[in-house]
Amino acid sequence: MFGLEEFGLAGLFAGTFLAATILPFSSDALYLAVLAATGNPAGCLIVGTAGNWLGSVFTYWIGWIGRWEWIEKWFKVKPETLQKQKERIDRYGVWMALICWIPIIGDVIAIALGFYKTRPFWTIILLLIGKFGRFLVWNLIYGLF
């Protein structure tokens, strides 16, 4: 977590933002550390959600600017494979944004949603709902102990 928990809510924002991009670390562990250190569930919920949500929006945008030709050329992915993935995204649509909180695969889903150009407004709203729900559950669990 790079010592981000030592910076309180500012560290929580930075860490949850970065964890929602392609950096591999746990925003959950950071969230719980800051929650325990500050004892501020409402502040952590708002700040953690905002940072993680904006990080996912950034990741979605990175996917949005991507091009099929780049993926085919640089990653040697066949057009047929991209088409199959697009069909999956089209099938489940923006609803996949609700599960972008899942570690590791959530970032890939956010990039895919952008890459395959899901409806931005609803994708961003559902990203927010998913991220909020995730941290709300942590607050509820924390409140039990």
What's the predicted TM-score (pTM) here?
Answer: 0.88
> Is pLDDT of 2 > 80?
no
> What is the model's pLDDT at position 98?
96
What are the two backbone dihedrals, phi and then psi, of residue 67, each rounded to the nearest 5 degrees? -125, 145
Once rounded to an integer, what is the mean pLDDT over residues 84-108? 89
- pLDDT > 70 in the chain, percent: 96
Residue bearing tokens 């993926």: 71
Is the Cβ–Cβ distance between 86 and 135 less than 8 Å? no
CA 80 to chain centroid, in Å, comes to: 27
- Please give the pLDDT value at position 77: 79
Distance in angstroms (rounded) separating the CA atoms of residues 106 and 59:
10
pLDDT on residue 52: 97
Share of the chain above pLDDT 90, in %: 65
Distance CA 12, CA 6 (A): 9
